[in-house]
């Protein structure tokens, strides 16, 4: 008998797409069970992220009809990352492996076979990596790729072109449970946990129905979260800028002194203004960056729960 697999699927207002993709996930689970790659105790676990539409009713019905479907519902919308975390943490004691995937059919479910095979070969983390971004708009492709490069430059370890489609074993999840941060950026945190990992390529399709929940504003939010949650390089940058400014000021002071001593000074309104503007500019930028970090410290110290489950389907109790 193979390992128990839980496919963890976050869903937020997905009534349009869930009836289309749920049978596909179920079919894939059936295929894997049939091939003897996973145990018959495996499940498709939906995490309702406080949807306002009939998503939770759909999930409940699925679970009633088929024992291989299960669902949990968050007490309110907490965002994609927290929904995935809720699913992973809830099933970590019930399974050997988890695969997290979006519910909109964009990620190719056929990559799951290769993920499970990789687990059998001894890998504890298998990252789903997009082989191409042809279906994304030029803008999304460009911003995403620049972002990955920027993150790498900032010293954060992320897997290029990997979103949240990945296999993680319960062993890794056990260790991951000790990461208590509130600012969640799973694709940056999982590499931090370590363990043996590999990649599996797949091509990403269009959303089957419904609309993306990641407009530009949220995408930028996730990008800023990624950097400030994973890297302290911006803080180091302030130090570097500080040293540079101090050096330039020192040269300027010597220059001003020489000018004053040689009697060549001019009443310096312009230079004074420049200096004031420059210094206050640098200070403001620095304060801004420090502010982001202080904001994070503030949230971490509150120690709020990262998710609260309000309901469960029968087979999740």
Q: Which of 5, 8, 10, 128 binds ligand UDP (CB under 6 A)?
A: 10
If binding is defined by CB under 6 A, does position 49 make contact with ligand UDP? yes
Per-residue tokens: 290: 């420090």
The span from the CA of 237 to the CA of 250, in Å, is 20
Per DSSP, 316 falls in state: G
Q: Does 77 bind ligand UDP (CB under 6 A)?
A: yes
What minimum distance in Å lies between the beta carbon of 212 and ligand UDP? 3
**CA nearest neighbour of 244 among 282, 275, 285:** 282
Please choose, out of 7-15, 152-160, 181-189, 293-301, the segment that lies near ligand UDP by the rule CB under 6 A: 7-15
Distance between alpha carbon 317 and the CA centroid of its chain, in Å?
A: 28
Q: What is the DSSP letter of 160?
A: T
Residue found under tokens 């001003």: 256
- Residue 14 interacting entry, from ligand UDP, Mg ion, none, C-beta within 5 to 8 Å by type: ligand UDP
Residue 104 engages ligand UDP in binding (rule: CB under 6 A)? yes
- Is there a contact between 91 and 8 (Cβ–Cβ < 8 Å)? yes
Least Å from the CB of residue 246 to ligand UDP: 43
Footprint of Mg ion (CB under 5 A): 102, 104, 106
Q: State the chain's maximal CA–CA distance in angstroms.
A: 93
For residues 207 and 306, which CB has a smaller minimum distance to Mg ion in the complex?
A: 207
User: Would you say 108 or 124 has its CB closer to ligand UDP?
Assistant: 108
Are 118 and 167 contacting, i.e. CB atoms less than 8 angstroms apart?
A: yes
Q: How many residues touch ligand UDP (CB under 6 A)?
A: 16
Window 190 to 249, contacts with ligand UDP (CB under 6 A): 212-214
Helices H / strands E in the chain, number of each: 10, 8
Q: How far is the CB of 285 from ligand UDP (least distance, A)?
A: 30
Whichever of 154 and 163 has its CB closer to Mg ion, that residue is 163
Is residue 147 helix, strand or coil?
helix
Site residues for ligand UDP per CB under 6 A: 10-12, 14, 49, 77, 79-80, 83, 102-104, 106, 212-214
């Amino acid at each position: 008998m193979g390992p128990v697999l839980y496919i963890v699927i976050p869903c937020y207002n997905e009534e349009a797409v869930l009836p289309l993709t749920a049978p596909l996930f179920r079919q894939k689970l059936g295929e894997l069970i049939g091939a003897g790659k996973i145990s018959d105790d495996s499940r498709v676990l939906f995490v309702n992220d406080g949807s306002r539409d009939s998503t939770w009713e759909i999930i409940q019905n699925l679970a009633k009809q088929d024992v291989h479907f299960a669902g949990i519902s968050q007490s309110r919308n907490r965002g994609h990352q927290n929904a995935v975390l809720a699913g992973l943490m809830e099933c970590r004691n019930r399974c050997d492996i988890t695969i997290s995937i979006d519910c909109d059919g964009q990620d190719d479910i056929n990559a799951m076979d290769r993920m499970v095979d990789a687990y059998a070969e001894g890998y504890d983390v298998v990252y789903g990596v997009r082989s191409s971004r042809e279906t994304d708009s030029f803008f999304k492709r460009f911003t995403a790729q620049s972002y990955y490069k920027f993150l790498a430059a900032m010293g954060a370890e992320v897997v290029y072109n990997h979103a949240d489609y990945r296999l993680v074993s319960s062993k890794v999840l056990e260790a991951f449970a000790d990461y208590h941060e509130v600012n969640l950026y799973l694709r940056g945190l999982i590499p931090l946990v370590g363990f043996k990992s590999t990649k599996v390529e797949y091509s990403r399709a269009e959303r089957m129905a419904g609309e993306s929940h990641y407009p530009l504003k949220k995408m930028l939010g996730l990008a800023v979260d990624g950097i400030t949650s994973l890297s302290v390089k911006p803080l180091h940058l302030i130090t570097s800028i500080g040293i540079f400014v101090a050096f330039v000021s020192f040269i300027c002071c010597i220059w001003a002194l020489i000018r004053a001593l040689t009697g060549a000074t001019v009443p310096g309104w312009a230079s004074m203004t420049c200096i004031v503007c420059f210094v206050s500019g640098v200070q403001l930028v620095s304060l801004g960056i420090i502010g982001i970090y202080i904001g994070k410290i503030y949230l971490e110290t509150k120690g709020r729960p990262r998710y609260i489950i309000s309901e469960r389907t029968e087979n999740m109790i």
